[in-house]
Chains A and B, each alone.
Chain A
Amino acid sequence: MRKLVKALSLVMASLAVLLLFQVAMVDPLEAEAAVLKSGSTGSQVTAVQQKLQSLGYYTYAVDGIYGSRTTTAVRSFQRDNGLAADGIVGSKTAAALGISLTSSSVGGYSSSEVYLLAKCIYAEARGEPYAGKVAVGAVILNRVKSSKFPNTIAGVIYQPYAFTAVADGQINLSPDQSCMKAAQDAINGWDPSYGCLYYFNPKTATSSWIWSRKQVTTIGNHIFCL
């Protein structure tokens, strides 16, 4: 009898755990917040500092690093302009400063497109050697340039079932530094695949169609083809 009680208790406990798991099983989406705050660096921070300097709020060196001095200056600006004085440059503060948070562009693509490219590289090729990451980015850009595929980076990446790591949601993870760098290189024209439109992992690819493409080179786990 005691054994039965014990067994039933165990079953109950595991059922309870299982159910809680089910209910809580939602993948947290990593959202990219388009704000500048303490710790941010880069050209947009420089733009903020320059603007604040010209308005008299920021009297220090314009160095592109968002530290405590920049935060203080931003707060003063926000207070004087009726904005929430949180020291963070979001869309309202950026608009008041006359700066666009999204318009920074490299090689004809906006910074959000570069970030999207980096996310896809991270999703598809984060374990690959650096040249392999750049090559994956280059394949995406080659598809954009080709008449046979959608004509935007987002169009190519989100074409249904074109990339398995997009289809299963890994595209929503945050990319690491080397993937950001690889996206940058691909946008600047680096193409270790020299024009390829496809790549696949020979150990996992099942479609006979992909094997029939002309193979150009192998980098890491991927074979790149035209």
Chain B
Amino acid sequence: MEEQTARPFSSDRGERGRAFPIAVIAAVLAALIAFAGLTVYALFRQREGYRQQLENLYHRSFYELNDDLNNLEVKLSKLMVASGGVEVIRYLNDVTRQTDAASVSLATLPASESTLLKLTKFVNQTGDFCNSLVSKVAEGGALSAEDLQTIEELYDISLTLSNEVGAMTEKINQGYLFTSHHENTLGTDPYLDENFSAIEDAETEYPSMIYDGPFSDALENIEPKGLPAEEVDRAGAEQNLRDQLAFLGELTVEYQKETDGLWATFDFQVTDAEGRSFFVQMTKRGGKVLLMDNMRKLDESQFSPEECVEKAEAFVRSLGFETLEGVWVSDYYGYAYVNLAPVENGVVYYPDLVKVIVARDTGEILGFEAKTYYTNHVARTLEEPKLTRLAARQTVFDSLDIESEKLTLIPLTGQTEVLCYEFYGTYRGLKYFVYVDASTGEEVNILRVIDSEQGSLVQ
């Protein structure tokens, strides 16, 4: 009897034993699949939310650009016929405000930046040009015939552009989605790229924009005025390098490569007797040392920024720059950045800046850069100042607590240079540089020193 009951009992358990785990597995599997499905759905919803938000932002940028270009056309048209000084200034400022806005809209469109170059340039230069005219008119001058001609040409272009972008708006209005073309990878919008390319490649006559402003065409590729015209070859450059850096001692010089363009150079890696290694660039024109670079990590600072200025001055003298003196030093975690300018006949020549980096741990030179110097340095005959220093000082804000005064040549926007008296002083704890034109007594520039713990004037 026991045997009979034992066998069915054990076989029951066997079958149940097999069925149980499969049922459990199937249930858990089903639950997991359901969970997966819900997760995917939730992620999909979230993605659509983000996508819509992005779509909205792009639409906004596009509509704003369209508005800005339309308004720009209207404002330029008013400028074309405005007479009278005050009104002209108002319209010039209006145009500049409009181009500022257009520039921001352009920066946020999902179009490839290569398709937006001319449009961005047009927008920026138009605003910049009008800004430069404001100073002219505010000083009592009038717009010249060339200025008026340029304004007419700018108007014609703005009309074309606002029409073309307006035409693009038609399609956008019909429910175009900027994010619909790239499902799995992201990228710029093909419709925008195609249409902006057409605008970019069109044979529009852009006027030559030479005026006094930071975006002027005149500043695009400035010839280095301080370099002689004759070029040296690679051997000549290496020889110059050895001559000019002879004060560093025994050198191993290894040629690396050439650099092309306006600042054509021969590049070398130079190692001195103590194993310090510099990257050195010698200009092809004239074989001058243009840039030196030996960046490394620093230890505890041992030298003060002022001592570093002295070291920088000694270094540039060894390189042959006789008249350079330190004018500014700023300290960045143990790296002292020193700016030096030539001082001749009591005048500080700010356009001819040389920059040197000194390590505050060992006092050695880590970097040297003379591009600004070689861009601007020419022999100059300066006019005698028409104002005395005292007279100039009296034009400065009464409450400015003046600590130092100098005669300086300063660069203004564009390529102009002006002889000025520089007054350095404080007001309400804030530090200022005020520049007064030495001929006209006009205040030409005010600079403010922000966070002077990082930088200080070399008195």
Give A residues with C-beta under 8 Å from B: 1, 5, 8-9, 11-12, 15-16, 19, 22-23, 41-44, 46-47, 64, 103-106, 130-131, 145-151, 155-156, 158-162, 167, 177-178, 181, 184-185, 188-192, 194-195, 207, 209-210, 214-218, 226
Contacts and interface: CB of A to CB of B under 8 A. Distances in A.
A51 to B, nearest CB: 12
Contacts of A103: 450-451
Given A149-B113, A161-B188, A189-B372, A195 B262 contact: yes
Interface stretch (B144-152, B315-323, B331-339, B418-426): B331-339
Contact of A189 (B36, B39, B221, B355): B355
Contacts of B112: 161
A43 B451 contact: yes
B259 A147 contact: no
B108 interface: yes
8 pairs of A and B residues whose beta carbons are closest in the complex: A150-B107, A43-B453, A147-B215, A105-B450, A104-B451, A147-B124, A194-B263, A217-B259
A46 B110 CA distance: 43
A78 B262 CA distance: 57
Interface of B: 18, 21-22, 25, 28-29, 32-33, 35-36, 39, 43, 103-104, 106-114, 116-118, 120-121, 124-125, 128, 186-188, 214-215, 221, 257, 259-263, 279, 281, 291, 293, 295, 297, 330, 332-333, 335, 337, 355, 357, 367, 369, 371-372, 450-451, 453-455
B187 A161 contact: yes
Contacts of A215: 260
Contact of B333 (A41, A148, A190): A41
A159 B450 contact: no
Contact of B330 (A106, A148, A194): A106
B368 to A, nearest CB: 10
Nearest to B25: A8
B259 A12 contact: no
A41 B36 CA distance: 49
B36 A145 contact: no
A160 B262 contact: no
Of the listed residues B18, B214, B295, the one surrounded by the most CB atoms of chain A closer than 10 A to its CB is B295
A215 B264 CA distance: 12
Nearest to B217: A147
A217 B260 contact: yes
Nearest to A47: B453
Contacts of B125: 147
Contacts of B124: 147-148, 151
Contacts of A151: 103, 124
Nearest to A133: B295
A192 B280 CA distance: 11
Nearest to B197: A209
A150 B261 contact: no
Contact of B188 (A15, A158, A160, A209): A160
Nearest to A182: B295
B332 A106 contact: yes
Given A12-B29, A130-B293, A185-B367, A42 B333 contact: yes
Given A42-B333, A209-B114, A150 B186 contact: no
A177 B298 CA distance: 11
A5 B25 contact: yes
Of the listed residues A23, A103, A192, the one surrounded by the most CB atoms of chain B closer than 10 A to its CB is A192
A19 B454 contact: no
Contact of B113 (A9, A19, A162): A162
A35 B221 CA distance: 42
11 contacts: A11-B29, A15-B29, A44-B451, A44-B453, A104-B454, A105-B451, A161-B187, A189-B371, A190-B369, A217-B259, A217-B260
Of the listed residues B18, B32, B121, the one surrounded by the most CB atoms of chain A closer than 10 A to its CB is B32
A147 B111 CA distance: 17
A100 to B, nearest CB: 8
